[in-house]
Amino acid sequence: MHVTGGDTPGPAPARRAANGRWRNPRLVLGLVLVLGSAVLGGWLLAAARDATDYWAVGSSVRWGDPVRADDLVVVSARVDGATARTLVPVAAGVPAGTWTRDMVPGALATRDAIADDVESGSELPLGVASGAMPPDLRAGQQVDVWATGDDREPMRVRRLATAARVIAVSEADGTGRRTLVVDAGPGGPRPETIAAAAADRLTVVRVR
């Protein structure tokens, strides 16, 4: 409490009741708290929405098909660093190349699913009789090709190719025979494979 009549030589400044102006420190503190909370909340929301656009597959694609912009859609996702490096960001543009495997709609386009060109070796045509291969076999699937001996050695069975990728399947001709083209690998087929394909009866087993 201020007491008059002290050692001061003249009038003392009056201690007066504070009036509630807008400069009230409590009001200023309240405004600072509100503004700070708003800024912090906005920053957190912005950080939570810090997603990156990646390419995903919009319609089904098959192994060997060229990558086209029409088959791709943009999706936003926030993924960790290691996973992000396997995906194809939109910022890098439409990737060029071909699909290295079949993709279903909605699947994220990964870097290993797109190659500059599908590595293919020699194409080995095989004539397959009716009923010796799955009727719905199609390009991109993998098959084992078995050869059986002639009438003199009916129990002689050899496997000519293992997990060979089907490149094309022809329509059946008038006898029901179809031509199957498989990938024989970079080194091409062995001579005995060519001989067996020409002489023996072939059976195609779809493995995948």
Partner 1 sequence: MTALRLAVAACGAHWEPAVLAEIERDRAITLVRRCVDVADLLATIGAHRIDVALLAVQAPGLDAGVVARLVEAGVRPCAVEADGSALGIDHTARVGRLAELAAARIEPREEVVDGDGGRLVAVWGPTGAPGRSTLAVSICAATAAAGHATALVDADVHGGAIGQLLGVLDEVSGVMAACRDVDRGRVARVSTHLLRLHDSWTLLTGLPRTDMWRHVRTEALVGVLDALRRDHETVVVDLGFDVDEASPSSPGRIARRILELADEVVVVGSADPVGLARLVRALEETADGVSRPPRIVLNRFRATSGWSEREVVSAVRELAGRTPWAVLPLDQAAHDAAAMAGRPLREVAPTSRYVSRVERLAVSLATSR
Looking at beta carbons only, is 7 or 116 nearer to partner 1? Answer: 7
From the list 118, 119, 120, 123, the residue with the least C-alpha distance to 189 is 123
Residue 135 as a binder of partner 1 (CB under 8 A): the answer is no
Residue 12 as a binder of partner 1 (CB under 8 A): the answer is yes
Place of tokens 């699947």: 107
Sign of CA dihedral 160, 194, 180, 149: negative
Residue 14 as a binder of partner 1 (CB under 8 A): the answer is yes
Binding segment (CB under 8 A) for partner 1, from list 13-21, 42-50, 120-128, 153-161: 13-21
Looking at beta carbons only, is 26 or 49 nearer to partner 1? Answer: 26
Binding segment (CB under 8 A) for partner 1, from list 12-20, 83-91, 123-131, 154-162: 12-20
Residue 1 as a binder of partner 1 (CB under 8 A): the answer is yes
Q: What is the DSSP letter of 187?
A: T
How many residues lie near partner 1 (CB under 8 A)? 17
Q: How far apart are CA 114 and CA 66, in angstroms?
A: 9
Binding segment (CB under 8 A) for partner 1, from list 2-10, 40-48, 134-142, 197-205: 2-10
Grouping H, G, I as helix, E, B as strand and the rest as coil, residue 42 is helix
What six digits make up the tokens of 181? 């083209």
Q: What angle do CA 153, 156, 162 make, to 5 degrees?
A: 150
Least Cβ distance, residue 21 to partner 1 (angstroms): 9
Residue 22 as a binder of partner 1 (CB under 8 A): the answer is no
Looking at beta carbons only, is 8 or 175 nearer to partner 1? Answer: 8
Residue 23 as a binder of partner 1 (CB under 8 A): the answer is no
Q: How far apart are CA 179 and CA 126, in angstroms?
A: 6
Q: How far apart are CA 96 and CA 94, in angstroms?
A: 6
Residues that bind partner 1 (CB under 8 A): 1-6, 8-17, 19
